[in-house]
């Protein structure tokens, strides 16, 4: 099948922004003006195409990224509408990984908001060229100029205004295209009819001033234009557009446009800018990856005739058709009915139905060519981040990295009937969402689910109930404490003697116990000399000690970091047995723990907290109140500070919510287990009350 649209007319773009900046409303207008829909959807009414989940329509927010395809002026635009809430930041991350360009939307009243900074940094990480759209220009307090200043200051970007708004707040009526020197207004209620007119006399002076500033900033990105500008030459609109396009693709500049998506103004000119400034798949660097099993770097051009390579960036469980895998083809082509090689999982997979996605609706297609995005049904062993390729020319593309989840709760089914459904639901949801993880606490037996925040877990629980019909109870998990000893016990002489008629039980052991190095666990050493205990009974003693260590003497938590030496003992020719020595080992170890000044240990996490400088004092004070040991504070670009700290896990429940509250949603943190540490006596007493 020949490609309907040449590859240089493809645009793979994402719409990214802070929550409530107008991403979904803008996407709805794009679909309407490109003829994909015949009515304007509304977020508040729950009638949008891309917010198709019940949870999204109820909350009025985007939760999962939705892919749609539209056509504008002979160009194919694959659009991914992404979430704005920080709990769903992984959806943004995996979308940016496979996109060639982005539209970053800003609220003209709020300017650069916290999540705007986060998504901007993510786009920087993946080197995604982008254009800015200052939305909600009709709102009270809207300011185009202030928003551009915030983009420059907070995001360390180089914004270049290519439009000028006409009218302010409620009087916002249109805009001026500074490149074409035309005024643009929308004459009908739906904004379908665009009128370009000459600039009114009263605006000519301001337009001339702003246009000169724009030309100067564009010229700064191009040496030839700089010379022409200095020499006072007239620079054509075509030359300015070409120079700006080069600067955008190189990441050196960001065009800024304005409008009001809700009032149907500015969306068509935004689509024109997508075509004018954002790259096609052939204008970005060839994708690179590793040859499997080696460190050899290989590249693939965006050519349908090259060996096939594609990256799976999203897994979705569709209630009607089954398991869907979204993928971006970087080279070659993926054909319906063909067999591909999953180089990440080292498995072959058959391509069943190929689909072009339209949010939750779909269209069957025969093949997906280089530069395009599609979805495939029926892949059982392929997951997010896997590379699909030609088995004869394997390649492993760079995987998508996701932040570790920071909140976890315990979950259990309400009835036995819910048990199997819960297992199936957890399996499918964790396949869909790499930041949702499932595990079992070895000590309590609880099933634990991990996520990026309370809203994240709340939505997942809601999906379990609605999509999988699972009734479950959710509680707060217990911290996995441990026990150890503080002082050495030079000798425990223990005799196990039991006579019950007939053959009895006899075992005599002498052990020495002392604290071990952190992380050593239980260390058993056999120091028997001269055969006072027959060799065959030694493993039974060790087994008894290790089983006894599974539950300590303070609160029944596992015992770690203790060294045990078996130094002497005796046996009876008839009454000694493995069981007798196992019991002796267990009881001797319990007695040693009692005499070794037992202590409670708690997991200490290595945490990194990133906060804007304005909130540093409050954040460090809060960490200190959580018994944290602050090791370093690092200044980072963009006016943020990174705090490295060691902090007890027991103090970190609910911290994500607290941190957002302290920093107006601009703070973020990650943590991972580092080591176990002795709990202070005053804290230990509180923890042991009621155990």
Identify the residue with better confidence: 686 or 328. Answer: 328
Q: Among 2-11, 87-96, 588-597, 599-608, whose mean pLDDT is lowest?
A: 87-96
- In terms of pLDDT, which residue wins out, 332 or 190? 332
Distance, in Å, from the CA atom of 386 to the CA atom of 314, rounded to the nearest integer, reads 10
Mean pLDDT, rounded, for 169-185: 92
Q: What confidence category does residue 294 fall into, taking pLDDT thresholds of 50, 70 and 90?
A: confident
- The average pLDDT across 653-673 equals 80
Provide mean pLDDT across the span 440-459: 73
Q: What's the pLDDT score for residue 60?
A: 43
Query: What number is the average pLDDT over the span 147-153?
Result: 92
pLDDT interval class at 404 (50, 70, 90): low
Per-residue tokens: 674: 């580092």
Report which of residues 81 and 508 the model is more confident about: 508
Pick from 439, 343, 438, 434: which is nearest to 384 by CA? 434
Is the CB of residue 256 less than 8 Å from the CB of residue 235? no
Phi-psi region of 666 (alpha: psi -120 to 50; beta: other; left: phi over 0): alpha
Task: Quote the pLDDT of residue 88.
Answer: 59
Residue 180 is predicted with a pLDDT of: 92
| 219-228, 309-318, 495-504: segment of lowest average pLDDT | 495-504
Question: What is residue 47's predicted lDDT score, i.e. its pLDDT?
Answer: 47
The mean pLDDT value for 46-53 works out to 43
Measured between alpha carbons, how far is 262 from 571 in angstroms, rounded to an integer?
88
**Whole-angstrom Cα distance, residue 348 to residue 381?**
9
Sheet of 437-440, strand order: 437-440, 447-451, 407-413, 472-475
What pLDDT does 446 receive? 76
CA distances from 355 to 6, 73, 91, 118, 260 (A): 20, 24, 20, 32, 33
Answer yes or no: is pLDDT of 87 > 60: no
Given a contact cutoff of 8 angstroms between Cβ atoms, the answer to whether 634 and 594 are in contact is: no
CA atoms of 376 and 355, how far apart (whole Å): 6
Q: Going edge to edge, which strands form the sheet with 66-72?
A: 66-72, 75-81, 10-17, 101-107, 130-135, 254-258, 159-161
Residue 173 has pLDDT above 80, yes or no: yes
Lowest mean pLDDT: which of 57-66, 72-81, 100-109, 263-272? 57-66
| pTM across the whole model | 0.67
For residue 453, pLDDT over 70 is answered with no
In this structure, of 58-67, 273-282, 429-438, the range with the lowest mean pLDDT score is 58-67
Top pLDDT among 501 and 419 is at 419
Least confident of 27-41, 91-105, 135-149, 293-307: 27-41
Q: Report the DSSP beta bridge partners of residue 79.
A: 13, 68
Residue 547 has a pLDDT of: 93
The better pLDDT of the pair 60, 69 is held by 69
Question: Tokens for 646?
Answer: 């060691």
d(Cα 76, Cα 71) in Å, to the nearest integer? Answer: 5
Q: Tell me the mean pLDDT in the region 279-302.
A: 89
In angstroms, the CA 359 to CA 48 distance is 10
Beta strand pairing call for 309-318 and 387-389: antiparallel
What's the pLDDT band for 657 if we cut at 50, 70, 90?
A: confident
Residue 49 vs residue 248, higher pLDDT: 248
Count CB atoms within 10 A of the CB of residue 517.
9
Per-residue confidence (pLDDT) for residue 359, from 0 to 100: 52
Distance CA 97, CA 400 (A): 7
Highest averaged pLDDT of the listed ranges 56-60, 92-96, 507-511: 507-511
DSSP E strands: which ranges in 82-146?
Answer: 101-107, 130-135
Q: Please give the average per-residue pLDDT across 330-337, as a whole number.
A: 90
pLDDT confidence of residue 50: 41
Q: Going by C-beta distance under 8 Å and a sequence separation of 6 or more, which residues neighbour residue 467?
A: 317, 319, 425
Judge contact between 548 and 492, C-beta under 8 A.
no
Mean pLDDT of 296-320: 85
pLDDT band of 22, cuts 50, 70, 90: confident
Radius of gyration of the chain (CA): 32
Length of the chain: 691
Give me the mean pLDDT over the 20-46 stretch: 73
Q: Assess whether pLDDT exceeds 60 at residue 164.
A: yes
pLDDT band at 61 (very low <50, low <70, confident <90, very high): very low
Q: What is the pLDDT of residues 490-527, one digit of tens each?
A: 999 999 988 766 678 899 999 999 999 888 889 999 98
The predicted structure's pLDDT at residue 57: 42
Residue of higher predicted confidence among 504 and 253: 253
Please state which of the ranges 63-72, 156-165, 329-338, 412-421 shows the lowest mean pLDDT: 63-72
Gap between the Cα atoms of 666 and 664, Å rounded: 6
Closest Cα partner for 644 from 597, 611, 681? 611
pLDDT band at 542, cuts 50/70/90?
very high
Query: What residue ranges in 383-429 does DSSP mark as E strands?
Result: 387-389, 396-397, 407-413
Query: Which range has the top average pLDDT, 37-41, 321-325, 477-481?
Result: 321-325
In this model, does residue 563 exceed pLDDT 80? yes
Q: What is the dihedral of CA 403, 404, 410, 412, to 10 degrees?
A: 70
Q: Once rounded to an integer, what is the mean pLDDT over residues 278-287? A: 91
The single residue listed with the structure tokens 């694959």 is: 78
Which carries the bigger pLDDT value, residue 120 or residue 133? 133
Whether the pLDDT of residue 55 is over 50: the answer is no
- Model confidence band, residue 1 (pLDDT cutoffs 50, 70, 90): very low
Residue 255 in this model has a pLDDT that exceeds 60: yes
568 burial type by CB count under 10 A (0-12 exposed, 13-18 middle, 19+ buried): middle
Residue 477 has pLDDT above 60, yes or no: no
Q: Is 53 a residue whose pLDDT tops 70?
A: no
Model confidence at 488: pLDDT above 90: yes
Average pLDDT over the chain reads 83
Calculate mean pLDDT across residues 341-345: 89
Higher pLDDT, 272 or 37: 272
């Amino acid at each position: 099948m020949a490609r309907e649209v040449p590859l240089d007319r493809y645009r793979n773009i994402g719409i990214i922004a802070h929550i409530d900046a107008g991403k979904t409303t803008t996407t709805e207008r794009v679909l309407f003006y490109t003829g994909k829909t015949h009515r304007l959807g509304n977020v508040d009414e729950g009638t949008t195409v891309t917010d198709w989940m019940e949870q999204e329509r109820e909350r009025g927010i985007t939760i999962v990224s939705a892919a749609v395809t539209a056509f504008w002026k002979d160009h194919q635009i694959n659009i991914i509408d992404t979430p704005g809430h920080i709990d769903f930041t992984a959806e943004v991350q995996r979308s940016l990984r496979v996109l060639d360009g982005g539209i970053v939307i800003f609220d003209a009243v709020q300017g650069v908001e916290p999540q705007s900074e986060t998504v901007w940094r993510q786009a920087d990480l993946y080197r995604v060229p982008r254009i800015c759209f200052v939305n909600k220009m009709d709102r009270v307090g809207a300011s185009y100029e202030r928003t551009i200043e915030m983009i420059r200051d907070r995001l360390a970007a180089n914004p270049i205004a290519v439009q000028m708004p006409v009218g302010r707040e409620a009087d916002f009526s249109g805009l001026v295209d500074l490149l074409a020197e035309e005024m643009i207004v929308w004459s009908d209620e739906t904004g379908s009819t665009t009128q370009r007119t000459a600039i009114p006399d009263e605006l000519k002076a301001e337009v001339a001033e702003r246009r000169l500033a724009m030309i100067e900033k564009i010229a700064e990105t191009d040496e030839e234009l700089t010379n022409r500008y200095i020499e006072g030459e007239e620079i054509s609109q075509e030359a300015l557009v070409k120079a700006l396009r080069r600067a955008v693709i190189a990441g050196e500049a960001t065009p800024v446009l304005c409008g009001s998506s809700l009032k149907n103004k500015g969306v068509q000119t935004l689509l024109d800018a997508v075509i004018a400034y954002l790259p096609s798949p052939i204008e970005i660097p060839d994708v690179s990856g590793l040859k499997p099993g080696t460190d050899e770097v290989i590249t693939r051009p965006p050519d349908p005739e090259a060996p096939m390579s594609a990256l799976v960036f999203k897994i979705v469980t569709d209630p009607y058709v089954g398991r869907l895998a979204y993928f971006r083809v970087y080279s070659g082509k993926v054909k319906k009915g063909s067999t591909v090689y999953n180089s990440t999982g080292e498995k072959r997979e058959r391509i069943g139905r190929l689909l072009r996605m339209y949010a939750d609706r779909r269209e069957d297609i025969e093949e997906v060519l280089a530069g395009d995005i599609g979805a495939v049904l029926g892949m059982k062993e392929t997951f997010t981040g896997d590379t699909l390729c030609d088995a004869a020319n394997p390649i492993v593309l760079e995987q998508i990295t996701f932040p570790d989840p920071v909140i976890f709760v315990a979950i259990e089914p309400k009835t036995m009937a819910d048990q199997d459904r819960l297992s199936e639901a957890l399996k499918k949801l964790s396949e869909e969402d790499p930041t949702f993880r499932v595990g079992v606490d070895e000590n309590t037996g609880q099933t634990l689910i991990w996520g990026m925040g309370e809203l994240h877990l709340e939505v997942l629980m809601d999906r379990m109930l609605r999509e999988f019909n699972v009734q479950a109870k959710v509680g707060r998990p217990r911290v996995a404490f441990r026990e150890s000893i503080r002082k050495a016990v030079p000798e425990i002489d223990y005799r196990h003697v039991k006579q019950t008629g007939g053959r009895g039980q006899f075992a005599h052991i002498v052990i020495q116990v002392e604290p071990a190095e952190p992380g050593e666990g239980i260390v058993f050493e056999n120091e028997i000399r001269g055969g006072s205990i027959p060799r065959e009974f030694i493993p039974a003693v060790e087994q008894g000690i290790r089983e006894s260590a599974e539950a300590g003497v303070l609160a029944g938590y596992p015992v770690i970091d203790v060294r045990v030496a078996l130094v002497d003992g005796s046996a009876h020719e008839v009454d000694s047995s493995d069981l007798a020595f196992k019991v002796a080992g267990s009881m001797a170890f319990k007695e040693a723990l009692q005499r070794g000044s037992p202590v409670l240990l708690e997991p200490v996490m290595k945490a990194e907290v990133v906060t804007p400088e304005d909130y540093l004092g409050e954040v460090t004070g809060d960490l200190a109140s959580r018994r944290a040991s602050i090791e370093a504070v690092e200044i980072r670009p963009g006016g943020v500070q990174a705090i490295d700290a060691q902090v007890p896990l027991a103090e970190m429940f609910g911290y994500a919510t607290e941190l957002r509250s302290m920093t107006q949603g601009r703070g973020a943190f990650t943590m991972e287990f580092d080591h176990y540490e002795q709990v202070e006596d005053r804290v230990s007493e509180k923890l042991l009350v009621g155990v």
